[in-house]
Amino acid sequence: MTGKRVLVTGAAGFLGSHLCDRFIAEGAEVIGMDNLITGDLKNIPIDYLKIPIQTLKVGSLGTHNLLGLAKAKNARILVASTSEIYGDPEEHPQKETYWGHVNPIGPRGVYDEAKRFQEAITMAYHRFHGLETRIVRIFNTYGPRMRLNDGRVLPAFIGQALRGENFTVFGDGSQTRSFCYVDDLVEGIYRLLLSDFAEPVNVGNPDEITIREFADEIVELTGAKTKIIYEDLPHDDPKKRRPDITLAKKVLGWEPKVDRSEGLRRTLAYFKTLDMDELYKKEHKHFDKFIKR
Ligand code: UDP
């Protein structure tokens, strides 16, 4: 990477900041771009539900702008897609060939459909303009620097455990996810960028768990004396999710290395260094500024 310049959008967010670290370690010159709505200068979302128009615009118009920039600069572009493009999947585990089961007009559609559009416009730039494009479909990822109140399940549970609050499990907790530690994800993305593979590739950890079991693991890890309270399942919340990573293994020689117990241990160690109450209040105050209509 020495002598190469890399632009990372969303550089102040969770994954963006870890990607910057990796490119810097590889000797690249890194330019970070971020509007700091959900990012933080020190280091993103339920967030997307609070800012639905921005979510749609960044996935569609934002991607269009960056594809135009990549074309003008003759650069290679890797776009961060998501397992959300599979929606509430009817195929399990999900292979890249699956077209998905997405509700376009539900609240979650602002994210899912923007990301589907993102993939479509990226492939069009690749096919029509010959742009060098890569598409990573990122499955649930966790690790240090997640925002405490981004609405995702892991920071929610860890924050609740450390503040001595009850755990909020949505629905009956039988829905599944497959959590990937951030270092593994970054390695997969890095390899994809350097590959010559233009079709979408799943990067995630196939180790699937129910949210109820996940809550139990975090109780055990933190030693928290908390109860579980059950709340309504969000609209269109996928019932199950697990990546089929056969393609990543084949074209990238990649598979995850950090198991959940190790990844959770490292993540908890990070959150323990933070003043939870202060941070929680600060995050809310900072974010609330941006959601007034
Ligand atoms: N979830 C939960 N309690 C919380 C936050 C999330 O039970 O406080 C559930 C959520 O309904 C979903 C799963 O945990 O079934 C993962 O949610 P997350 O927002 O982390 O990721 P996504 O739904 O985008 O996969």
Which residue's C-alpha comes closest to atom 1 of ligand 1?
A: 153
Residue 283: alpha-carbon gap to chain centroid: 19
Given a cut of 70, is residue 5 above it in pLDDT? yes
pLDDT tens readout for residues 268-290: 999 999 877 767 676 666 666 66
pLDDT tens readout for residues 219-270: 999 999 989 999 999 999 999 999 999 999 999 999 999 999 999 999 999 9
d(CA 179, CA 207): 7
Pairing of strands 201-203, 77-82: unpaired
Given a cut of 80, is residue 41 above it in pLDDT? no
User: Which residues' Cβ are closer than 6 Å to ligand 1?
Assistant: 140, 151-153, 156, 168-170, 175, 177, 211, 233-234, 237
Which residue's C-alpha comes closest to atom 6 of ligand 1?
A: 153
Classify residue 8 as left (phi > 0), alpha (psi -120 to 50) or beta.
beta
> Mean pLDDT across the chain, nearest whole number?
93
Sequence-distant (≥ 6) Cβ neighbours of residue 93 within 8 angstroms:
206, 208, 242, 243, 244
pTM of the entire structure?
Answer: 0.94
Distance 104 CA to ligand 1 centre (A): 20
Distance 265 CA to ligand 1 centre (A): 20
Q: How confident is the model at residue 90 (pLDDT cuts 50, 70, 90)?
A: very high
Distance 67 CA to ligand 1 centre (A): 31
pLDDT tens readout for residues 147-205: 888 889 999 999 999 999 999 999 999 999 999 999 999 999 999 999 999 999 999 99
| Residue tagged active-site, from 48, 86, 111, 190 | 111
280 is catalytic: no
CA separation, residue 90 to residues 122, 126, 134 (Å): 25, 29, 26
Q: How confident is the model at residue 44 (pLDDT cuts 50, 70, 90)?
A: very low
pLDDT tens readout for residues 91-143: 999 999 999 999 999 999 999 999 999 999 999 999 999 999 999 999 999 99
